[in-house]
Every structure is written in structure tokens, then in C-alpha cells.
């Protein structure tokens, strides 16, 4: 199974990042999104991110031009059916992902493999909504995709060895490292990371510390590069809540109960950096704690 052309569904932060690294490493990329503004902005965003790499000397101007030449954006989801691999990178909601795969199935070439960038949802369950569960797996990139080294590879119960091997070869061709995870809620990284963030939110909720003191304590006391509340804002509080709900529903264990304060911020639409407010307010020159 040789992969030459890859379709990417979703032109948000993750989808654009995935398209960026694929195009830079020589793959033809076809990117789509239901939002016309996201589609229009995607090439410029990839270009600006490539400019940063050019400025650092890790990418040449010629590499940048070639990568942008390999990236195409289309409003037609059906066109992705003729690629060798389709990676879904839509919002972390199972019904959205299921609808995408169900819409894709009638247009897929017989050899096309399917992957999801989900950070928590069952690969086996998503695969069962397609006509090719044996050609379906999880390929979970970390954010920001161009900078992060790790990709989690997750087999569903039906994923065959040829599909897994092709995905592993793809990850290695990108210069990234694959970690194999079993198909349990949130896999490895987020099963460990997001409950830690949730516990930090509980510490804030219960008055154990302020936003500043909690983040400072973990940065200086545990040598984390970013405090857990700052990291939650970077990930997106809606994504953190969605993953906690997957863990809580999947294991039926109260240790995964989402903090009520996290749910309240999401209800308010304070989702972190992407909405300019979360545990910090980003509307000024310097982020200011909101509690």
C-alpha cells in the first residue's frame, strides 16, 4: 500500500498542520472543510507557518514553494475519495466524524484507507460506520503538528496489518515517531494528560490555588514547559471537556468526572485561545487570569 496522495478533512488548527507536514514531505494533499472561510484561509496559514521554518533555517524557500504547490483546497468532500488515504481531522464530536465517513464511503476508491485524528473516540466504533473497517485506524497527531514529534497509531479491532504498516511508514516518512496505543478511551497521551488538567481545574474550583499559582507551581515544581491551565486554553476547553466525557462514559469511573468549572467555562463560550478567553483573557497584549 503506497501512499502518494492524502485527503485531509478539516481545515482547523489540526487539519492545516497535518496538511502542512504532508505537503512538505512530498505528498500531494487535498484539503477540505465545510466552512468556506476556513478553506480560504488554509493556504495562507500554511504559508505563514512555513515562513517561520524558513526563518529558522529548517526549510528552504524552495521547499516552501514546492509544499504549497502540492496543497490543494476543495469544497467537495467527494473528491477526496480518489486519494490513497483520507485523514479526518474535524471537531472532537463523534456524530460529526461519523457523518463525514458515511458521506465519504460512496465515493471511495477500492484501495483508499481511512484514518481519524481523534484524540479519544473509539476507533472500532468509527470504523464500523464505514464499508472498510479493515482499512481504518487512528492516526493521532499532536498539536502543533509541525513541531510535535509524536503520532499515536491506534488499531481498531478489524484493522489489518497492511493498513497499519502503511500508516507507520507514513509517520516515519514525516520524520515523526509513532507510539502504538490500544483502542481504549483517550488512548495514551490524553488518558494521562487530560485528567491531570481536569485535576488542576478542580484545584482552582476548590480554591486550593489561583490560576497563576497553579500554573507556576507545575512549571517550577514539576518542570512542565506550560502550566496545566495555560495548556488547557491552548488545547481548547471544549476539547478537554469532550475527552473527559469520553473517559467518564467509557470507564464509568468517577475519577474521570469532568470538573463543573470546566463545563461552566465551555457553557460560557470561553474555550481558551481560540475564543480569546478561557482561564486567561487573551484580548490584551498580555494574558490575564480570569479567576
The residues assigned a catalytic role are 119, 140, 152, 190
Annotated binding-site residue? 276: no
Annotated binding-site residue? 119: yes
Annotated binding-site residue? 92: yes
Q: Are strands 85-88 and 5-9 parallel, antiparallel or unpaired?
A: parallel
Give the Cβ contact number of residue 231 at 10 Å: 21
Annotated binding-site residue? 274: yes
Annotated binding-site residue? 7: no
Annotated binding-site residue? 97: yes
Annotated binding-site residue? 12: yes
Annotated binding-site residue? 255: no
Annotated binding-site residue? 81: no
Region of 109 on the Ramachandran plot (φ > 0 left; ψ -120 to 50 alpha; else beta): beta
| Binding-site residues from annotation for NAD(+) | 10-15, 33, 92, 97, 119, 143, 274
| Binding-site residues from annotation | 10-15, 33, 92, 97, 119, 143, 274
Amino acid at each position: 500500500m503506497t501512499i502518494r496522495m492524502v485527503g485531509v478533512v478539516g481545515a482547523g488548527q489540526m487539519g492545516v498542520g497535518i496538511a502542512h507536514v504532508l505537503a512538505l514531505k512530498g505528498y500531494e494533499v487535498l484539503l477540505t472543510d465545510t466552512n468556506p472561510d476556513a478553506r480560504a484561509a488554509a493556504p495562507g496559514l500554511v504559508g505563514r507557518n512555513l515562513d517561520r521554518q524558513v526563518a529558522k533555517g529548517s526549510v528552504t524557500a524552495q521547499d516552501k514553494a514546492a509544499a504549497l504547490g502540492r496543497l490543494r483546497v476543495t469544497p467537495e468532500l467527494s473528491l477526496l475519495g480518489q486519494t490513497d488515504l483520507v485523514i479526518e481531522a474535524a471537531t472532537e464530536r463523534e456524530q460529526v466524524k461519523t457523518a463525514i465517513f458515511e458521506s465519504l464511503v460512496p465515493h471511495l476508491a477500492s484501495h483508499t484507507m481511512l484514518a481519524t485524528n481523534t484524540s479519544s473516540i473509539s476507533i472500532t466504533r468509527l470504523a464500523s460506520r464505514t464499508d472498510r473497517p479493515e482499512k481504518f485506524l487512528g492516526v493521532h497527531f499532536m498539536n502543533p503538528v509541525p513541531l510535535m514529534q509524536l503520532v499515536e497509531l491506534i488499531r481498531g479491532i478489524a484493522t489489518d496489518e497492511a493498513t497499519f504498516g502503511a500508516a507507520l511508514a507514513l509517520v516515519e516518512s514525516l520524520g515523526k515517531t509513532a507510539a502504538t496505543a490500544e483502542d481504549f478511551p483517550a488512548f495514551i497521551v490524553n488518558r494521562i494528560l487530560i485528567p491531570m488538567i481536569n485535576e488542576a481545574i478542580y484545584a482552582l474550583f476548590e480554591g486550593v490555588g489561583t490560576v497563576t499559582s497553579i500554573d507556576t507551581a507545575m512549571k517550577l515544581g514539576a518542570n512542565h514547559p506550560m502550566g496545566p491551565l495555560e495548556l488547557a486554553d491552548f488545547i481548547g476547553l471544549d476539547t478537554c471537556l469532550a475527552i473527559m466525557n469520553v473517559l467518564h462514559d467509557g470507564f464509568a469511573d468517577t475519577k474521570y468526572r469532568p470538573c463543573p468549572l470546566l463545563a461552566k467555562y465551555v457553557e460560557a463560550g470561553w474555550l481558551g485561545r481560540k475564543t480569546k478567553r478561557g482561564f486567561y483573557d487573551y484580548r490584551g497584549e498580555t494574558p490575564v487570569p480570569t479567576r
